[in-house]
Chains A and B, each alone.
Chain A
């Protein structure tokens, strides 16, 4: 791929290499005090992420407080309320304050971990989120790990032998599954494996009848997990397959592979020890995005299988409508991906020497 050349005018906007890795900013100052390159690099990306996070807070306030209209109308529909009651509700929710104060309250509240109160459950949102988080992490964490491993494994082999039967059949199968809507695949999987064959539970995470022992509880959860994880992995693994495959294709004509072969290495060793490590480099952002998406990655899957995680909480808040909950989850989901991408960028500094040199 294109080398990262330092931009002459210092402006990242004129630098095409910025497309490759969002990292190629101005290098270290040639004269004056020597700041370590890493310090500058870190500072640049930290400030970028901070601005993105602030934008998320700002846009969530904009979406849920300004476009959404008066929450009192939403809460009181189909119920007659006196103007006094309305005023009391406004005061309780802090809506009688000027908009600017509401915004400041919201920002400080969110930053100190006070996400407000859920209208649906009448409970602090942060408590509810912590309660639901483990289920989500378990389901989509397992799903993401499986999908990345499977996708990378097949993608490597498919790209290495481009045009072979293995390549063609796996690309076709992957794309077909990738084209299936997650919710539909979930319903079909439930229909076949849970309803017709009765092999797995229909939905939920635990059965009430399971004894208390740790092992039997774990087995029960594992049993409930099979279908959702299967569905989630089946739909997303092709994305990793295609990225890894094209990344391998980028490396395949490279001189260092010819050198490795000239040394007498077997084809297997050339692939595993030389091609794969280099091909993995451009996929790191994608992997980190996937990690960031673990928190929200399974909204649809959780809803199909009534999995008690954050995704199904988000969906159930739409129709209540539980605006504070939607807002809090929106901020949480968006920030987790921003932070994950920041981590990927920091990691690139250590593993991609081209960034350090630019």
Chain B
């Protein structure tokens, strides 16, 4: 064994160690039933979103080519009924998956990138920059996010890009705070002192030593940011602040309520998009909580 280890290059050693860590995390993750349920549900939904154009033709979304009656209840032709223009609610909901997931994921990636960058640099560099970065992320954390998002969208205009940017802007701060705390902890460990003594620069320390140590946490927090981004997008779209040219779950519900679906007792128009949001959000939360438990065993309870 020892000869084999000695023969490996440092890169191979590192890779083997990473592979073992991932395998261990996966084993811990698999032990949690709710996390696995969430993962399976998410996998199915992502597949559905990707396959939507194969299952249902995009013409089903066109108002002019709609064939159904005005808000007609479920029938053989329209399993989930129709909306006020005669389009199939099933088709709208399936297609809505694409945009709701896309916005949730894009906004989360943007927020995570900014949050990680600010968190690591402010924790590592410190000084004036660190102090200001800390205050700014504190400030963003205290601000009511829905209020800020509504105000910004009201002046920036409604589009895919503004929605993503605004959601990212109101959600990066919690990641920054978390990453900064973890950076400070890692920073105090002896191996970083060793790296500094050997002449490692800031860039090397941040990318090679700190980043790999904060990544698991970032992953868990990203998984928990996606559901809140999806909820935020649906709320904004429901208020009428979404991109008017696309179909998302929130925008379906926006049209449902502005066209009186509630007073028309059109439950088939209200239930599918709302349940879709609920299921996706719950699935992401289950995965996120399971990941958190993998990286923070205290939450795991009876597990050995």
Contact = CB atoms under 8 A, between A and B. Distances in A.
A166 to B, nearest CB: 13
A67 B270 CA distance: 36
A185 B180 CA distance: 36
Contact of A179 (B146, B282, B302): B282
B280 to A, nearest CB: 8
Interface stretch (B23-31, B191-199, B261-269): B261-269
B155 A64 contact: yes
A163 interface: yes
B56 interface: no
Given A326-B154, A337-B144, A184 B301 contact: no
Contact of A180 (B139, B150, B263, B278): B278
A338 interface: yes
B54 interface: no
A185 B253 CA distance: 11
Contacts of B122: 13
B152 interface: yes
A63 B274 contact: no
A175 interface: yes
Contacts of A327: 151
Given A19-B177, A181-B235, A296-B147, A11 B265 contact: no
B253 A249 contact: no
Contacts of A246: 299
Contact of B155 (A68, A180, A289, A334): A68
Nearest to B249: A181
Contacts of B130: 13
Contacts of B227: 179
A184 B298 CA distance: 35
Contacts of B138: 22
A240 B237 CA distance: 27
Contact of A187 (B270, B278, B301): B270
Interface stretch (B8-16, B42-50, B212-220, B238-246): B238-246
B69 interface: no
Nearest to B126: A13
Interface in A160-217: 162-163, 172, 175-176, 178-185, 187-188, 190-191, 195-196, 202
B237 to A, nearest CB: 10
Interface string B253-286: 1001100011101010011011001110110011
B263 A334 contact: no
Chain A interface extent, by class: 35 or more
Nearest to A334: B143
B304 interface: no
Interface in A293-325: 293, 296, 299-300, 303-304, 314-315, 318-319, 321, 323
Contacts of A289: 142
B227 to A, nearest CB: 7
B185 A16 contact: yes
Contacts, number: 156
B131 A12 contact: yes
Given A63-B151, A179-B227, A19 B181 contact: yes
A349 interface: no
Interface of B: 34, 122, 126-127, 130-131, 134-135, 138-139, 142-144, 146-148, 150-152, 154-156, 177, 180-181, 184-185, 188, 227, 231, 234-235, 238-241, 250, 253, 256-257, 261-263, 265, 267, 270-271, 273-274, 277-279, 281-282, 285-286, 289, 298-299, 301-302
Given A296-B146, A303-B239, 8 more contacts: A18-B134, A22-B138, A181-B238, A183-B238, A184-B277, A191-B262, A300-B146, A323-B155
Closest 10 CB pairs of A and B: A184-B274, A179-B281, A68-B155, A179-B282, A13-B130, A19-B181, A16-B184, A163-B301, A333-B147, A318-B154
Interface of A: 11-14, 16, 18-19, 22, 48, 51-52, 55-56, 60, 63-64, 67-69, 162-163, 172, 175-176, 178-185, 187-188, 190-191, 195-196, 202, 246, 249-250, 289, 293, 296, 299-300, 303-304, 314-315, 318-319, 321, 323, 326-327, 329-330, 333-334, 337-338, 341
25 contacts: A12-B134, A14-B126, A16-B181, A19-B180, A64-B155, A67-B152, A67-B156, A69-B155, A162-B301, A163-B301, A172-B34, A175-B285, A181-B274, A184-B238, A184-B274, A187-B270, A188-B270, A190-B262, A195-B262, A249-B299, A304-B257, A315-B150, A318-B150, A334-B144, A334-B148
